[in-house]
Each structure stands twice: as structure tokens, then as C-alpha cells.
């Protein structure tokens, strides 16, 4: 469980990047952390990992304060940063060294993940891997640590299209009831059919924190003709008319969620989104 209580964060004396953020993230879920460039996704992940400290407010991860970086905290959280700088050592040496920090690291799983990503387990020097190969290697390692919290910052950057599909498959299979996964991205389509809850940052604050089930109960994703319905939150021209997001006023059947349209609707109608999703903890 990750709990943020009124967290404000700023770099030095600059304007706050995150302001009075209160969020609760629960195990058994894969959260998609969304936001425009510079919205503060990486900063938030680094705060959760204890690599940055809140200017104000409190963060608890499984009851522990990340900033203390206690061994029990570190062995139960894996953070995959956006830029992966692997050392100039061999695959075998890296695994032998790093696995010692994660008591639940599972070698068999690790090799299965590498196979799923079509990376040979005979990789040589890590600094000679391409960006996509480095990502696949570290994603496989992170999943195999079996930590209860897994934070991944832009993990799909650098992955080719088949690998993105493989990523979704592998991560969803690795979700267990006691595991909490947070994946940040600005390429929201990469998270289609993977996440089951969305956390959206906008304008330094939390705009949306909702399970997708709730999103589809409260919003409809439709194609409309030229005349847009009055309750539309967002519309974009499409080949067949307008692709729209509107309120699900009469609780009609669910429509499939389009994450990109959800994102655009939230950014363009923030006040209506807040009214529609008055999160217990915002
Ligand atoms: N080390 C730093 N020192 C000062 N300001 C920083 C630092 N790192 C990030 N920022 C600023 O904090 C804000 C949030 O950055 P952050 O990297 O958290 O956003 P992001 O949502 O992850 O962006 P992106 O999607 O582009 O990766 C930006 O305005 C950025 O310029």
C-alpha cells in the first residue's frame, strides 16, 4: 500500500512540481500514472522510491517512510527509472550482485521473462545492449525480484511494437493480490488492456484517481455525428464523425475505454472531471 498525505514537492526554491497530493494506491492493482510532459510523474515515482524527499506532507510505503531507505523497504520495492544506465559488467555478474538485495528474487522466473522478451540468457556485456534490450533486461529483473511494490517509469520507451504487446502480457501475468504496480507513461496507448486504475496528474495536482471500472460507469466513449451531444466533455474529429467522451448520465451499458481520449477529456475539462470523480483521497 502506498499512501501520500498532503504531499508537496519542489526542486530547491522553484514553484512546486506537486502540490498537496493525497493518494492511496492499493495492492492487487496496476495503476497507470498519466500526465503531460513535465507534469511530475518521474518526480512522484522518485518520491515513492525515497530518492527525493517531500517538501511537505508524508509518504508511507507499506507503512514505512521511503526517505529513510530502510533495508526492509529497499528489499520490497523495485524502481525502474526512465533512463537506465547499466554498468559495464557481464549479465551474470550483474545478476549475481543485484539479486542479493532482493530476497524473493526468482531465477527461473527471470529466465522465463527474458525468453518472453526474446533476449538470450547468454547476453554478454550489459553496456553493449541497445536501449530496447536494456529495458527488456531490467523489466525482467524487476519482475523477478517479486517485490510487493514495482514502480516503472516509462518502461515502454524504446520497446518495439511486438515487445510492447509482450510487456503488457508479462506484467499482467505478474500481478498478484499482494503486489502493487505503478507504470508511468505519456504514451497512454501502451497501457491499453493492462492497467486497471488510472492516476492522472495535471497542473501540479491530482486530477483523477479512479479504477477503470468506475471510469466506464461514469463516462461513455462514443462516435457521434456532426451534432455533438450537449453533455460532451471532449470531442475530436474522426473518419466516422467525432470520437467523443460524454457523461454516462443514464447509466447505459459500458463502452470500451479509450485511454487517450480519457486523458484528453480530463486535461480539457478538469473541473467536470473532478465533479464526476470526487475521489475520497484527492
Ligand atoms: N533535477 C531537477 N531540478 C529542477 N527541476 C526539475 C528536476 N527534474 C525535473 N524538474 C522539473 O520538474 C517538473 C516535473 O518533471 P518530471 O520529470 O517529474 O515530469 P514528468 O511528468 O515525468 O515529465 P516527462 O513526461 O516529460 O518525463 C518539470 O518542470 C521539470 O523541469
pTM of the model: 0.94
Does 239 lie in the same domain as 124?
no
pLDDT at 192: 86
Residues of the chain with pLDDT below 50 are 281-282
- Kind plus residue range of the DSSP H or E element containing 25: strand 18-25
Residue 281 belongs to some domain of the structure = no
CA distances (Å), origin 193, targets 9, 10, 66, 172, 221: 32, 34, 30, 9, 15
Does 65 lie in the same domain as 193?
yes
> From ligand 1's centre to the CA of 132, what distance in Å?
23
Domain that holds residue 256: 212-276
Closest of 111, 105, 158 to residue 131, by C-alpha = 158
Atom 4 (ligand 1) nearest CA? 11
**Ligand 1 contact via 46 beta carbon (within 6 Å):** no
Atom 23 (ligand 1) nearest CA? 38
Asked whether 144 and 105 are in contact (CB, 8 A), the reply is yes
Closest of 249, 200, 246, 189 to residue 222, by C-alpha = 246
Residue 112 belongs to some domain of the structure = yes
Backbone angles phi, psi at 138, to 5 degrees: -75, -30
Does 142 lie in the same domain as 39?
yes
Does 222 lie in the same domain as 183?
no
**Ligand 1 contact via 15 beta carbon (within 6 Å):** no
Does 227 lie in the same domain as 99?
no
What is the rounded distance in angstroms from the CA atom of residue 188 to the CA atom of residue 259?
A: 6
pLDDT at 282: 44
Residue 282 belongs to some domain of the structure = no
Q: What is the CATH number of the domain that holds 44?
A: 3.40.50.300
Atom 17 (ligand 1) nearest CA? 42
Does 235 lie in the same domain as 177?
no
pLDDT at 240: 80
> From ligand 1's centre to the CA of 39, what distance in Å?
7
**Ligand 1 contact via 39 beta carbon (within 6 Å):** yes
What is the rounded distance in angstroms from the CA atom of residue 269 to the CA atom of residue 282?
A: 17
Contacts of 26 (CB under 8 A, 6+ apart): 1, 180
What is the rounded distance in angstroms from the CA atom of residue 4 to the CA atom of residue 25?
A: 9
Does 160 lie in the same domain as 239?
no
Closest of 147, 137, 133 to residue 79, by C-alpha = 147
pLDDT at 231: 83
Q: What percent of the chain has pLDDT over 90?
A: 76
Q: For 28-75, what is each residue's pLDDT tens digit?
A: 999 999 998 899 999 999 999 999 999 999 999 999 999 999 999 999
Last residue of a domain, one of 202, 235, 264: 202
Q: For 87-114, what is each residue's pLDDT tens digit?
A: 899 988 999 999 999 999 999 999 999 9
pLDDT at 17: 96
Q: How many domains does the chain have?
A: 2
Amino acid at each position: 500500500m502506498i499512501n501520500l498525505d498532503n504531499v508537496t514537492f519542489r526542486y530547491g526554491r522553484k514553484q512546486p512540481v506537486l502540490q498537496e497530493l493525497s493518494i492511496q494506491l492499493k495492492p492487487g492493482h496496476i495503476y497507470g500514472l498519466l500526465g503531460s510532459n513535465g507534469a511530475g510523474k518521474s518526480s512522484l515515482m522518485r518520491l515513492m522510491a525515497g530518492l527525493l524527499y517531500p517538501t511537505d506532507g508524508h509518504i508511507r510505503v507499506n507503512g514505512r517512510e521511503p526517505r529513510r531507505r530502510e533495508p526492509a523497504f529497499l528489499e520490497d520495492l523495485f524502481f525502474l527509472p526512465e533512463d537506465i544506465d547499466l554498468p559495464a559488467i557481464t549479465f551474470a555478474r550483474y545478476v549475481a550482485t543485484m539479486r542479493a538485495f532482493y530476497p524473493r528474487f526468482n531465477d527461473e522466473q527471470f529466465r522465463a521473462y527474458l525468453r518472453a522478451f526474446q533476449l538470450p540468457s547468454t547476453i554478454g556485456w550489459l553496456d553493449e545492449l541497445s536501449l530496447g534490450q536494456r529495458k527488456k533486461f531490467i523489466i525482467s529483473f524487476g519482475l523477478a525480484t517479486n517485490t510487493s511494490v514495482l514502480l516503472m517509469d516509462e518502461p515502454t520507451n524504446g520497446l518495439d511494437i511486438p515487445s510492447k504487446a509482450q510487456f503488457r502480457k508479462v506484467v499482467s501475468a505478474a500481478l498478484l493480490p499482494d503486489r502493487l504496480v505503478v507504470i508511468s507513461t505519456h504514451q497512454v496507448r501502451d497501457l491499453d488492456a493492462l492497467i486497471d486504475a488510472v492516476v492522472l496528474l495535471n497542473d501540479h495536482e491530482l486530477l483523477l484517481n479512479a479504477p477503470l471500472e468506475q471510469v466506464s460507469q461514469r463516462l461513455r466513449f462514443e462516435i457521434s455525428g456532426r451534432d455533438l451531444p450537449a453533455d460532451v466533455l471532449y470531442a475530436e474529429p474522426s473518419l466516422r464523425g467525432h470520437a467523443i467522451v460524454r457523461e454516462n448520465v443514464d447509466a447505459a451499458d459500458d463502452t470500451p475505454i479509450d485511454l487517450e481520449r480519457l486523458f484528453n477529456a480530463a486535461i480539457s475539462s478538469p473541473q467536470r472531471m473532478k465533479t464526476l470523480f470526487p475521489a475520497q483521497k484527492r
